[in-house]
Structure 1
Amino acid sequence: MTATAQHDRYTPEQVLALYRRHNGTLNDLVASRAETDPDRTMLIDRERTWTWAEGISCAARLASCLRRHGVGPGQRVALVAPNSGWHVLTLLASARLGAILVPLNPDLRGGELAYQLQKADPVVVLTAVELAGTVSAAMPEDSTATVRPLGEELLDAEPLTEDLGRPEAGAIIIFTSGTTGYPKGAVHSQRTLLLAGESFVSRVRLQPDDRCLTILPLFHINSMFYSVTGALTAGATLIIEPKFSASQFWSTVREHRVTQTNMIEAVGAILLKRADSTFTPDHTLRKIYGIRQTLSGAFRERFGVPHLVGGYGMTEIPGVLATPYDQPTPQGSMGALSPHPGNGAPLAECRIVNDGQNVPDGETGELWVRTPTTMLEYFRDPEQTAASFEGEWFRTGDLVRRDSDGWYYFVARKKDIIRCRGENISGAELDRVIASHPDVVVAAAIGVPSDLGDEDILVALTVREGAELTAAEITEYARRSLAEIKVPRYVYFAEQLPLTPTGKVAKHELKQDTSLVQAATDTRAAAAAAASPRNY
């Protein structure tokens, strides 16, 4: 028997079959998992550990507290706090009441926080003690919401025994990153949460004895729909860290005997490019979701993690594509349709469309998706909701192509296209190529106004600690892999780049910074100056 077979002893179908059939609500899912062994560890954070029995009891008591404050079906409970077990307890408590959890970024301040609180219109806002003043100051003047600090005093009521949740009712609102305009609140039902969790069990072969580490923010689709509901679905143990820490990552893995975690590309790049004395090869980590193909070979070789799975989804449509577990993936592909363990069939259907018509395999078009994990709506935004759909098909805004074997390849965001000398150039392609330089941590290519019309390319980047790079070295490195028209004219070295709440470079902020061009090195001007004759 192989090591993989020893670890992954159950197929995804067998994992689901270990538990009785639930009724489609979050709380009945958790109850069905607890029944097999209520004293197993369900949840760990920096403050305490919960067994499955304790987790259910605490969530039921929190539900009673929320109901005393007027929370009922369809109403919103906002949560503004760093990652902790309270996110899971509040999700279950809200779901038990048929209410909707709205987890918000605890780093938001002022107008950004005020906008999301006003949009969500919560009845109760739960917040970390140290953020209570910030949250209260950001509350709309006409709000009647109760602001309560998180703490054990929220659990002073008798447990609420009834479950008012319904599979098709709204359960959570996740705000998009807001890369253009204001962020939108995607409303998902209990059903989409559970389907996404079940599908994640298939993608990374989650087992009941897996120990799943959450380092990504719990106001984001990845951690809430994959890490949390995936672990709950498998009956696994969920370990929650406040945030990603490169210096503490491997010690956390060893301390908690972590077997699975989720990452985004930036986290993987930081770990790879960091001179890390905390890493030792005796760790227990076997599965990572979110390591893209460009990093997977180096990650597997350096850290010895055998199972690296990538995928594609959006806040509005989680869990659409995935690279197969333990099977080869064509170079550059972001995967194929993600299976569901109920019958092994994909949850999603995909079309690649140009001018409303499907395009042949091999051609590029916009990805349209139809899946039962699609959001219900953008909260209180019927115009944006209608604009995002063509019938039942969600329009992703991503340009992709599919080959004849059913593999999908990302080309660009429609809004991440740089128009240079009449050509459409993918900013994402430039990001990937330049970030593959061993001394570059993060790269972001944008279009800036050109004196020739259209746009010139500017790449903003951060470099590995202790590294010294020049603009000429960057352009020469890009020239090895890219056509000359794609080589950046401007190179800007930054201490750090602005990020969206989900850890992606906020390119819209870079484009709005008119000082970047003046601060960047103009490699075209530098090359011209070097080539011109000098008078002595």
Structure 2
Amino acid sequence: METTPCRMFPFIRSKTAQSKNTELTVNGSSSSSALYKSNFNLGTILCAAAQDSPQKTAIVYDDKIFLSYKDLDVAARKFASLLMTGNYAKGAVPCRPEDRVAILLPNIPQFCIAYYGALYAGCIVVPMNFLFTEREITGLVKDSEAKVLVALKAYGTEPTKAAKKLGIPILWADDESSCGMQALLSSANPLPALIPTSPDDTAVILYTSGTTGVPKGAMLSHMNLFLNATIVPNTIRPVEPDEETIVLAVLPLFHIFGQTCMQNTTFARMGKLVMLPRFEPGEVLRTIEKYNVSLFAGVPTMYIAMLRCPESDKYSLGSLKMAISGGAAIPVEILKEFEQRYGIAIMEGYGLSETSPTCCSNSVRQGRKPGSIGHPVWGVEMTILDEKDQPVPDGQPGEVCIRGHCVMKGYFKRPKETAEAMRNGWFHTGDVGIRDPDGSYRIVDRTKDMIIRGGLNVYPREVEEVLYMHPAVAEAAVVGIPSERLGEEIAAYICKKEGHEVSSEEITEHCKRYLAAYKYPRKIEFVKELPKGPSGKILKREIREWHKKMKSKL
């Protein structure tokens, strides 16, 4: 497919892009003085790709926008110069190295331009959900001390209110006026060289979902993210000689899963990133076939939706070399069904925002173990500890703890929380896991999600696995609800497969066949859909809120 710039990006071919010796002047001084300092910047992966294969397609978007690596690199350099000169908004202050740049964009090319442009300038990227409300944006921008927002005018009400309250400028990515990103980049000089940063300097501040309280900003270094985008993928599945990497990016890039495993990994491999701004199962299947996608990654709910899609048999997924699942535990029944339908084995992995993200995964070399997250990746150690931070025997549940190159520097401006999470040199994940004798790991549940029923521990994932075995269950979520008699009771919220009918009594009998008496759900609720976060993860905290609002207490 021919690589052509779209009229949406006229700045790419401006005359300023022709000179490699263009020198950017900031406040009277040239950035060239720093060109030969020792440097390690995550943005190097894009620079290297642009130098090695400038005409190769880097991004495909909307079936009509194709950006080469040269196009993307020039655009990122121009964005960097806008930040450094302050020419991105009226009255804006020039950004300095380590200043924060908040990006509120969906999966569109401008996300990559702003992301790498900020890195080129030595700034710190703060990705946020573009659908955040004024309150959410204000809270995170204030906490991160970001100097500028990059947002979509199409979703401009909430960012506008937040920026006005905070007194910071907005750079509109989709504004076609003289004040928008296109026009500003068209007149900007490209940054001649990346601003030097150190391997341990913060590249990205990624805010956790806040399921257990106020969101905290995980500081991820250039080295954290570089190794996760380069070394880690090759330990999971090495690329064959002359193999072209074509990746479908439908996971939101503001989320660490999409950001590292889709965007950064693709550019590190000089591959092609096919971008979809939202998940629609039929469109995902069509796009995989049309562009011969070789790598797809998603959360379990995406795989379930693809299997249940009426068009699931219409398209071929024969181009896929690998499918990856993460973000939450994927039911074994879904793994089996997907492989039977498409002949593709899903490799389940594990990671968190605080671990860049991948720290453990099934792999081609070590094989796949259904229900397991595989073995720790290269350079990462994992262990299972009890409540006293002592190792537990293989086969026994405890808290998953991690150390290695993937672990964050800490939480931004939160030394107390950092010290608590990083006790004794191990990052404590809050997840309950088991180490099997073969050295592989299984995730049982979140420590916060574990149900204590009458003094006995019940792990929701185990119950959910059984529910997914029933032919009428499309999706299921198990949570603990208050019980006066037992402390907590087990509740299951279920979406039925289309065309299937099943009663709560049938579900109960099904569970009794596979679970101990204290584990099967006593409350069963059928719902049309389950609440999901931006990455597609089922939000159990919202399900608990449903229950609170109904004021049900067993």
TM-score w.r.t. length of structure 2: 0.84
1:216-235 equivalences in 2 (<5 Å): 216-235=251-270
Counterparts of 2:172 and 2:85 in 1: how far apart (Å)? Answer: 13
Letter in 2 for 1:287: M
Unaligned runs of 5+ in 2: 1-37, 87-93, 175-180
Residue in 2 that maps onto 1:363: 396
Residue in 1 that maps onto 2:224: 192
* From 260, 279, 283, the counterpart of 2:314: 279
1:117-516 equivalences in 2 (<5 Å): 117-139=141-163, 141-150=165-174, 151-156=181-186, 157-166=188-197, 167-198=199-230, 199-206=232-239, 209-276=244-311, 279-281=314-316, 283-290=318-325, 292=330, 294=332, 295-305=334-344, 307-317=345-355, 318-325=357-364, 327-338=366-377, 346-354=378-386, 355-514=388-547
Q: Secondary structure at the match of 2:303?
A: helix
Residue by residue over 1:228-280, the C-alpha shift from the partner in whole angstroms, topping out at 9 and shown as x without a partner, is 11111211111111021112111111222211111111111111223325633
Counterparts of 1:478 and 1:112 in 2: how far apart (Å)? Answer: 40
Which range moved further: 493-502 or 364-373?
A: 493-502
Do 2:402 and 2:426's aligned partners in 1 also have CA atoms closer than 8 Å? yes
Do 1:401 and 1:411's aligned partners in 2 also have CA atoms closer than 8 Å? yes
Which range moved further: 468-477 or 392-401?
A: 468-477
Unaligned runs of 5+ in 1: 1-21, 339-345, 523-536
Identity %: 28
Deviation at 1:326, TM superposition (A): 6.0
Letter in 2 for 1:503: G
Deviation at 1:212, TM superposition (A): 0.6
Deviation at 1:472, TM superposition (A): 1.3
Counterparts of 1:237 and 1:84 in 2: how far apart (Å)? Answer: 14
* From 74, 78, 84, the counterpart of 1:57: 74
Counterparts of 2:481 and 2:317 in 1: how far apart (Å)? Answer: 48
Instruction: Give the total of aligned pairs.
Output: 492
Structure 1 residue 38 and structure 2 residue 54: aligned? yes
Q: Secondary structure at the match of 2:156?
A: helix
Q: Secondary structure at the match of 1:487?
A: coil
Deviation at 1:68, TM superposition (A): 2.4
Which range moved further: 258-267 or 148-157?
A: 148-157
Do 1:180 and 1:508's aligned partners in 2 also have CA atoms closer than 8 Å? no
Letter in 2 for 1:127: A
Which range moved further: 132-141 or 307-316?
A: 132-141
Counterparts of 2:335 and 2:528 in 1: how far apart (Å)? Answer: 26
Which range moved further: 212-221 or 286-295?
A: 286-295
Cα pair distance change 1:423/1:519, threshold 3 Å: closer
Counterparts of 2:312 and 2:372 in 1: how far apart (Å)? Answer: 33
Cα pair distance change 1:93/1:476, threshold 3 Å: same
Q: Which runs of 4+ in 1 moved over 4 A?
A: 515-520
Residue in 1 that maps onto 2:12: none
Q: Secondary structure at the match of 2:358?
A: coil
Counterparts of 1:496 and 1:113 in 2: how far apart (Å)? Answer: 27
Counterparts of 1:29 and 1:112 in 2: how far apart (Å)? Answer: 32
Counterparts of 1:202 and 1:86 in 2: how far apart (Å)? Answer: 30
Residue by residue over 1:464-512, the C-alpha shift from the partner in whole angstroms, topping out at 9 and shown as x without a partner, is 2333222112212222221121111111122222223332222222223
Counterparts of 2:78 and 2:428 in 1: how far apart (Å)? Answer: 41
Residue by residue over 1:195-245, the C-alpha shift from the partner in whole angstroms, topping out at 9 and shown as x without a partner, is 000112331334651111111011111111111111112111111110211
TM-score w.r.t. length of structure 1: 0.86
